[in-house]
């Protein structure tokens, strides 16, 4: 074999069909597009269009419910916490809060904080400070000699901002904070 004898495998390179180059080419005149109409023109992308009929994607019912007040927690299982403790990725001398869990790479996402779930087992004595926890997770950590502090949920003003109604209860709250 010589350098000048190198060739591609037969059929590896196929030349494109040049359309609109005369009637004898087989793809002349209308260039394989049929005749007239929107789709015979260039620059047409009619996805989901069905003429005057209602398109399929609009006929089908919408499903589910998107809760505008739903909380977005980073869910962490106690079994994963134990795994990270065994791998020395988490130091249990300090309290385990959202900052420590994020630094270890356990709590990803969750703009409303961390929620502790009870999947797996834990043997280490840890003090957890989280925004939510399941009953099973709290029981498992307390059984291992640790403790769970669940932070109170932030107050929600119903999307009103500064325009939220301020009544006597609000005045009492302000007075209690001032003391």
pTM of the model: 0.52
3-state secondary structure of 115: strand
pLDDT digits (tens, 9 = 90+) for 110-128: 888 899 998 989 888 899 9
What's the whole-number mean pLDDT along residues 41-69? 88
**What confidence tier does 164 reach under pLDDT thresholds 50, 70, 90?**
low
Give the chain's length.
179
Percent of the chain with pLDDT over 70: 86
pLDDT digits (tens, 9 = 90+) for 13-45: 999 999 999 999 999 999 999 988 888 888 887
Domains and CATH numbers, the chain: 74-150 (3.100.10.10)
Residue 60's pLDDT is: 93
The rounded distance, in Å, linking the Cα atoms of 90 and 105 is 10
Name which of 83, 75, 91 is nearest 137 in CA terms. Answer: 75
DSSP readout, 116-153? EE--S---S--EEEESEE-HHHHHHHHHTT-EEEEPPP
């Amino acid at each position: 074999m010589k350098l000048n004898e190198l060739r591609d495998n037969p059929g590896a390179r196929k030349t494109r069909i040049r359309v609109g180059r005369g009637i004898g080419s087989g793809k002349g005149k209308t260039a394989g597009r049929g005749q007239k109409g929107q789709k015979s023109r260039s620059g047409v992308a009619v996805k989901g269009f069905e003429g005057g009929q209602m398109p399929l994607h609009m006929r089908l019912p919408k499903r589910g419910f998107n809760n505008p007040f739903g909380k977005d927690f980073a869910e962490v299982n106690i079994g994963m916490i134990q795994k990270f403790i065994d791998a020395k990725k988490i130091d249990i001398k300090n309290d385990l809060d959202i900052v420590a869990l994020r630094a270890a790479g356990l709590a990803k996402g969750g703009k409303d904080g961390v929620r502790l779930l009870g999947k797996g087992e834990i043997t280490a004595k840890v003090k957890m400070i989280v925004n939510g926890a399941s009953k099973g997770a709290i029981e498992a950590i307390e059984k291992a000699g640790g403790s769970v502090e669940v932070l109170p949920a932030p107050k929600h003003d119903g999307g009103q901002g500064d325009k939220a109604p301020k009544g006597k209860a609000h005045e009492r709250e302000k007075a209690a904070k001032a003391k």
